[in-house]
Chain A
């Protein structure tokens, strides 16, 4: 656990970069520090491992003030990754990852094992890249090595300052996803600095929004989007915050089970009746035995009196979303068809429910009912 208690940082020139910061980061959580450039994120982060001295107040690590440790001893127990990566260019990849274990005097066998394990974990094959030098790797690979190095001595805490800031958006998305998977395994207590709200929402368990050195709001991503405290927050998270919230909610959490459906081979009357019952303009056709989604029929086609076989459109997957997709994807499918709701299928293609526009609206307006949704999504 990391606690900031009334922390103030004044630079020698009198500039107050961090102003009365109170913040608690719980074990195993990713706390994202976000805010406009120059708002004091990096300063706050670097005070934790004493790269910058606190002017007033204190920072507790597991209840102990961090200035009770020798700075070097403290830093060896806290993983540190930065945007510029800062791999040591004269050392091989393996030696880079081994830096902190070596500083801690681990024995070489253990270091070797640990290093190879970490490189595997971040998706760098140690037998291919282990003895290369940093300049021989791509930017994305270097970032991975930077993460592996921060995890080097298995520190309980990690400080990450825009660790994925220097790579292209596609690579960044991959790195973010992979890092969340690693975090599932290692469950570190992390302070993560970014200026990208999407990254913050995706990565953070909690988001601390800073402005001019002050903490404006500290909440879960969902709450931040749902209940922005003031205009500054509202503007910072963006006009599309509703869409962003949908990104946090899984289809499973937002679907309704009551979907107009008929077995294949039903008569036109049965189809019309089903639609009437649901006050819907289309009906989904499923396999009688397995319950798999096969296609759909439109009210206009049904009422035109054509043969039952001709009113059914077969196209099961393109019209449906999977249960583990986000509500945002459901909305996207919904918008591209003229259905009342988007059908939801499970891994076997069985129709399990649907997501309607009305339902999505309710979700976005309801403040924070799905704070837990994001947690579940990760599992």
Chain B
């Protein structure tokens, strides 16, 4: 029945809708051509007839044979839907001068895929899917089904690589801007990954905190919820002003300001601790949230610095020609490896966790970091290093436009699904399981890493996938503040009403989202214990 729908859809498309538009250049509007209008060659009719066959095949009774027939037809529809119009398009373009009015500028002529191609691909996909469903029911193995399903996509990839489809406008665009595309794509990936990792660290910490501390629970969940409701464009804009000022300040003055803020937060925390017991319930809640926000300011400033700095490093390593060479990567790895090992040993997470679980860790952290900055400042003075004093935060990659606000905004956006899912995952664990673990002698950290995290893992991963996919989308908006990434193409395309450019940005973004989702799902499957996997 599904196959029937797919076949009907595809043949309807080929019959009624234009397959391609022929365009003389990027900007001019094109001439629409339908499948049955393509003159001279009967093979185009073949596609139409092919699309009709599933309508008949749908009534076959032998499941296995019907499955294979549908898979074959589905794959063929997909391949031919892309291939035949390209062939026809090529023929048109050879005689392009004759097609258009005299005086039309012809540069990089191309064919724009039109509605029928989309409908044809969808129809072919549905037929293929129906076939795979039949095969699954008749007991074909996973591998066989995977291969059967991938044949069409594989041929399309081969055709793409071999240049057969170069006549499509998106490919023309790709060929003229391929190198920037690669860079923007890379930027996009790095954006999403950096924000995801930063969001993961902050999100899991906040989720853990919310699940442990009834007092902070509402404040945390409410805050991340509110962040999510700010339109992305507005959030980028909001970050513009403070970050621009931040970027212009000198390192030393910045350090001074930061210390001041930290001291205020620390003092407030200490005062609250003193008064805590004496305050009425309401006021206690209020004071707690106030101190929380006060402490958050210096902390998030520091996070901005670290994340932006880390991003600069990552992007430099990935995009600089010298660094990309095999030798320097190896060198880098050799240098970094012992550092990571050392850091891993030094900061035994399991042992550190109990401290993080206390609310008091905030002021403590603020104090420690303040001391560190003071030290750095003192060292700079001692060494008579005036460069340190001249340093602005912009040297660390922080400014109102560009990567810093993009990364920060993306990190903030990733928080809601991450915090919410971590919180829900941890809260939903049967308390008896945690109690029995505690009763057997697990320490708090062991309980977290060996019981709670593994049990909450599938739920957290669902949040990660959710965050990753939405980040791919929001990262495209980031180019508005000059951050780069795939949004550049989309913006350009919108400005010049060039659908090719929009597609050039959008298609890789969609692919990226699909691939990340599949990859994370695979990871989730591999790392989830069979004892808690959904059947």
Chain A positions within 8 Å of B, measured between CB atoms, are 46, 49, 51, 72-76, 80, 82, 84-92, 99-100, 103, 133-135, 149, 152, 159
Report B433-461 CB contacts with A as 1/0, cut-off 8 Å. 11111111111001000010011000000
Report the separation of the CA atoms of residues A87 and B438 in the bound assembly, to the nearest whole angstrom.
12
Chain B nearest CB from A192 CB (Å) reads 15
> B441 to A51, Cβ gap below 8 A?
no
Q: Which one of B60-68, B86-94, B526-534 contacts A?
A: B526-534
Complex Cα gap A86–B529 (Å): 17
Q: Are B441 and A76 in contact (CB under 8 A)?
A: yes
Contact between B432 and A88 (Cβ–Cβ < 8 Å)?
no
**Across the interface, which residues of A come within 8 angstroms of B443, CB to CB?**
72
Task: Give the CA-CA distance A184 to B426 in the complex, in Å.
Answer: 41
Bound CA span A84–B430, Å: 9
Given A90-B529, A135-B531, 10 more pairs with CB closer than 8 A: A51-B435, A75-B441, A76-B441, A82-B435, A84-B435, A86-B432, A87-B433, A91-B531, A100-B441, A134-B531
Q: With a CB–CB cut-off of 8 A, which chain A residues contact B430? A: 84, 86
Say which size band chain B's interface belongs to. Answer: 20 to 34
Closest chain A residue, CB of each to CB of B443:
A72
Cβ-neighbour of A99 out of B432, B440, B529 (below 8 A)? B440
Closest residue of A by beta carbon distance from B446: A103
**B432 x A90 contact (CB < 8 A):** no
Measured CA separation A81–B440 after assembly (Å): 9
Question: In angstroms, how far is the closest chain A Cβ from the Cβ of B325?
Answer: 44
With a CB–CB cut-off of 8 A, which chain A residues contact B437?
86, 88, 99
Selected contact of B432 from candidates A46, A82, A100, CB within 8 Å? A82
Would you mind naming 14 contact pairs between A and B with Cβ atoms under 8 Å apart?
A51-B438, A75-B439, A75-B441, A80-B440, A86-B432, A88-B433, A88-B436, A89-B531, A89-B532, A90-B454, A90-B529, A100-B440, A103-B441, A152-B440
A85 with B436: CB separation less than 8 A: yes
The docked-state distance in angstroms from the alpha carbon of A46 to that of B439 is 9
For B451, list chain A residues within 8 Å (CB): 88
Contact between chains at A82 and B439 (CB < 8 Å) = yes
Best-buried of B432, B434, B438, B455 by chain A (most CB within 10 Å): B438
Q: In the assembled complex, which residues on chain A have CB atoms less than 8 Å from the CB atom of B435?
A: 51, 82, 84, 86
Top 9 nearest A-B pairs (CB, nearest first) are A86-B436, A133-B531, A84-B432, A90-B529, A76-B441, A80-B439, A75-B441, A86-B432, A90-B531
A7 to B58, CA, bound (A): 78
**Are B440 and A103 neighbours in the complex by a CB distance under 8 Å?**
yes
Q: Nearest Cβ distance between residue B318 and chain A, in whole angstroms? A: 36
Task: Give the nearest-CB partner of B454 in chain A.
Answer: A90
With a cutoff of 8 Å between Cβ atoms, the chain A residues found around residue B441 in the complex are: 72-76, 100, 103
B529 to chain A, nearest CB (A): 4
Is B440's CB under 8 angstroms from A89's CB? Answer: no
Q: In the assembled complex, which residues on chain B have CB atoms less than 8 Å from the CB atom of A92?
A: 531
Question: Are the CB atoms of A133 and B440 closer together than 8 Å?
Answer: no
Per-position contact with A for B220-233: 1 when CB-CB < 8 Å, else 0?
00000000000000
**Chain B residues close to A by CB (< 8 Å):** 430, 432-443, 446, 451, 454-455, 529-532
Chain B residues, CB < 8 A from A100: 440-441
Residue from the set B433, B434, B441 with the largest chain A CB neighbour count within 10 Å: B441
Q: List A contacts of B434 (CB < 8 A).
A: 86
Write the chain B residue with the least CB distance to A92: B531
C-alpha spacing A51/B435, complex, angstroms: 9
Query: What residues on B are CB-neighbors of A152 within 8 Å?
Result: 440
Given contacts A85-B432, A90-B455, contact A49 B439 (CB under 8 A): yes
**Which residue of chain A is the closest to B434 with respect to CB atoms?**
A86
Q: Which A residues are CB-close (under 8 A) to B439?
A: 46, 49, 51, 75, 80, 82, 159
CB distance from B354 to the nearest CB of A (A): 11
Which residue of A is nearest B439, CB measured?
Answer: A80
Chain A residue numbers with a CB within 8 Å of B532 are 89-90, 133
Nearest chain B CB to A85's CB is how many angstroms away?
7
A208 to chain B, nearest CB (A): 21
> Closest chain B residue to A133 by CB distance?
B531
**How many Å from the CB of A371 to the closest CB on chain B?**
33
Name the residue on A nearest B455 (C-beta).
Answer: A90
A53 to chain B, nearest CB (A): 13
What is the CA–CA distance of A113 and B455 in the complex, to the nearest angstrom?
Answer: 28
The residue on A at minimum CB distance from B432 is A84
A84 to B432, CA, bound (A): 6
Residue with the highest number of chain B CB atoms closer than 10 Å, among A73, A90, A99, A133: A90
Q: Whole-angstrom distance between the alpha carbons of A92 and B531 in the complex?
A: 7
Nearest chain A residue, comparing its CB with the CB of B435 = A86
Say whether B433 contacts A86, CB under 8 Å.
yes
Whether B529 pairs with A72 at a CB distance below 8 angstroms is: no
B415 to chain A, nearest CB (A): 27
Min Cβ gap A107→B in Å is 18
The answer to whether B529 and A91 touch across the interface, beta carbons within 8 angstroms, is: yes
Closest-CB distance, B454 to chain A (whole angstroms)? 5
Q: How far is the CA of A201 from the CA of B165 in the complex (A)?
A: 85
- How distant is the Cα of A373 from the Cα of B472 in the complex, in angstroms? 76
A133 to B438, Cβ gap below 8 A? no
Closest B residue by C-beta to A90? B529
Interface centre among B430, B454, B531, B532 (most CB of A within 10 A): B531
Cβ contacts under 8 Å, A73 to chain B? 441
Minimal beta-carbon separation of B45 from chain A (angstroms)? 58
CB distance from B61 to the nearest CB of A (A): 39
Shortest Cβ distance from A100 into B: residue: B440
Which residues of chain A have C-beta atoms less than 8 A from B446's C-beta?
Answer: 103
B53 to chain A, nearest CB (A): 46
Measured CB to CB, the nearest residue on chain B to A93 is B531
Complex CA distance for A72 and B438, rounded to whole angstroms = 8
The minimal Cβ–Cβ distance linking B360 to chain A, given in whole angstroms, is: 19
Report yes or no: B432 in contact with A133, Cβ–Cβ below 8 A.
Answer: no
Most buried by A among B440, B451, B454, B529: B440
Tell me, rounded to whole Å, the shortest Cβ–Cβ distance linking B432 to chain A: 3
On chain A, the residues within 8 Å of B440 by CB distance are 75-76, 80, 99-100, 103, 149, 152
A246 to B269, CA, bound (A): 67
State the Cβ distance, A138 to closest chain B Cβ, in Å.
16
In the complex, A73 Cα to B441 Cα: how many Å?
7
Contacts of A91 in B (CB 8 A): 529, 531
Which of B435, B436, B529 counts the most chain A CB atoms within 10 A? B436
CA distance A103 to B439 in the complex (A): 12
Hey, which chain A residues are within 8 Å of B438, CB to CB? 51, 75
Within the assembled complex, what's the spacing in Å between the Cα atoms of A73 and B430? Answer: 24
Q: Which residues of B contact A82 (CB under 8 A)?
A: 432, 435-436, 439
| Smallest CB separation, A134 vs chain B (Å) | 7
Return chain A residues, CB-CB under 8 Å to B454. Answer: 90
Cα A133 to Cα B532 with chains together (Å): 9
Residues of B within 8 A of A46 (CB): 439
CA distance A377 to B280 in the complex (A): 62
Q: Provide the bound-state CA to CA distance between A76 and B443, in Å.
A: 11
Contacts of A89 in B (CB 8 A): 433, 455, 529, 531-532
Residues of A within 8 Å of B531, CB to CB, are 89-92, 133-135
